[in-house]
Chains A and B, each alone.
Chain A
Amino acid sequence: MPAGRAAVVFTAAAALLSNSAIAAETPDELVARGRAVLEAAGGCTCHTDFDDDGPPLAGGRPLSTPFGVYYSTNITPDPETGIGRWSDADFARAMREGRAPDGSAYFPVFPYTSFTGMSDEDLRALKAYLFSLAPVRRENRPHDVWPPFSWRLSARIWQWLHFEPARFSPDPSQTAAWNRGAYLVHAVAHCGECHTPRTLTGAIDRSRWLAGASDGPEGELAPNITPHETTGIGRWTATDLVWYLQMGFDPDGDDAQGLMRETIEHGFQHVPRTDLEAIATYLATVPPIENRLLDHADHADHADPEP
């Protein structure tokens, strides 16, 4: 057998082996891995109505956007009101193509625009974890959005304009850690959904990737997390970022608030350190973009120092 072909066979065998290693995982291991995926996604807290003490992941949380108020959906495995009847394929299609099992298009308030990059294995595990939870019976609430944004067809048109399903593809010129970080930031942790400004039609402005937004979901300001020295997080060390995602404290000792605090509490603080370091590795290489949203120390005389 020629050496080249032998190498191919060897690589294929290795790939098979690693796949079978995953296939060999017990249901409990699959569920545990799924829980880790959910945590790396920030805990999917949009699906929990904290203000009304709603049951975890049973939806009904109002999400205000410039287009109106959307209500998150029940993603517990209740067969009537949740996703209990969904097949693996239904779940993958919702997450990666933004389509409901009946084929209708989801509004991009559901960040399938990021989840489209997720791997088969992560999706399978995430679904297994969600299906391991106690089903909660809680009807989904209709969105309170102005026409034409309220029409399902407009979601389809939006997808046609702005959305192309695409799996994350690693950059072979980068390290494994960088690629892991890029995968997490782009796909699972869906950082860009809040931290990237949007265009008038609500599409993520990829030319200003992670440059922050003053009017993110729920009207919250999402800071610039590009490595820009004075308006982004260019002065943070990787250690600062890991600490922030574990403890909820920035280098100035200020605490994370709002949605970020939720995602840390229910998600990122549980993410393995190596993954958080990978996120820091990737973020340090994103193009720095000047976009001042917070008053940093050098501008502290105008606003409160608690930014």
Chain B
Amino acid sequence: MAVRLVDRPLGLLALVVFASVAALPARAQSPAASDEGTIRYRQKLMSGVGADMGAIGDILKYGLPLQSHIATYATLLSQRSELVAAAFERDVSAGPTDAKPEIWQEPEAFREKTQAMKDEADKLAAIAAGGDAAAIGQQVKALGDACGSCHDSFRKPKEESYKRAGAGS
């Protein structure tokens, strides 16, 4: 089949033109492709935040001799907070996302939360450089509270993602 089309360049052109035209109304009707991409990107970004927090947790809970890494993760988290603020600027609240519509209804409140993430991450970076384990632990908790406080207001609870995923798939 493919060989025969190549043999007939006009036929191939016609097919390409037809396919493009056929695709047009579909794309106009649903901007799903880029929404999907936005959602997937945001999820990767938030996974990264979780991975950093998880890595900090491992260093502390297992007492790994890698405490110097914590400042690096804290700096990363501070930078990620800006990416989070930017990644959630575009309103995509439909589809397989745990982002609550409130993010776009109360953009200033959301912005405060991402700023709190940045502030607490910056503090952790400073404290981690000092190396006092108790102070680091306390600041990790403060940073965690910033995560939790934002999730409280702007992330759907687990039962909603469960229902969306279609009961115990």
Contact = CB atoms under 8 A, between A and B. Distances in A.
Interface stretch (A111-119, A188-196, A202-210, A243-251): A243-251
B21 interface: no
Interface in A271-307: 291-295, 299-300, 302-307
Contacts of A240: 61
A219 B169 CA distance: 19
A304 B87 CA distance: 15
A13 B47 CA distance: 58
A256 B47 contact: no
Give the bracket for the number of chain B residues in contact with chain A.
35 or more
A120 interface: no
Given A242-B61, A293-B162, A303-B96, A253 B148 contact: no
A250 B158 CA distance: 14
Contacts of A291: 168
A258 interface: yes
Interface in B135-169: 137, 140-141, 144, 147-148, 151-152, 155, 157-159, 161-165, 167-169
A247 B140 contact: yes
A137 interface: no
A144 interface: no
Interface stretch (B49-57, B104-112, B120-128): B49-57
A113 B58 CA distance: 36
A253 B51 contact: yes
Given A247-B141, A251-B54, A253-B55, A302 B165 contact: yes
A254 interface: yes
A247 B162 contact: no
A254 B161 contact: no
B97 interface: yes
B119 interface: no
B contact face: mostly helix, strand, loop, or mixed: helix
Given A251-B57, A253-B57, A306-B46, A214 B167 contact: yes
A147 to B, nearest CB: 27
B155 A306 contact: yes
Given A292-B168, A306-B46, A255 B148 contact: yes
Contact of B57 (A214, A219, A247, A293): A247
B112 to A, nearest CB: 18
A294 B160 CA distance: 11
B110 to A, nearest CB: 15
Interface in A89-138: none
A294 B157 CA distance: 11
B161 to A, nearest CB: 5
A97 B48 CA distance: 48
A227 interface: no
A77 interface: no
B148 A248 contact: yes
A261 interface: yes
Given A248-B148, A291-B168, A221 B47 contact: no
Given A261-B148, A292-B168, A252 B54 contact: yes
Contact of A303 (B51, B98, B140): B98
Interface in A224-252: 239-240, 242-243, 247-252
A-B complex: 7 closest residue pairs judged by Cβ atoms: A253-B53, A253-B54, A253-B50, A221-B159, A304-B98, A305-B47, A243-B61
Given A220-B158, A304-B97, 6 more contacts: A214-B159, A251-B57, A252-B51, A255-B151, A257-B157, A291-B168
5 contacts: A214-B162, A243-B57, A251-B54, A251-B57, A257-B158
Interface of A: 214-215, 219-221, 223, 239-240, 242-243, 247-258, 261, 291-295, 299-300, 302-307
Interface of B: 43-44, 46-47, 49-58, 60-62, 96-99, 137, 140-141, 144, 147-148, 151-152, 155, 157-159, 161-165, 167-169
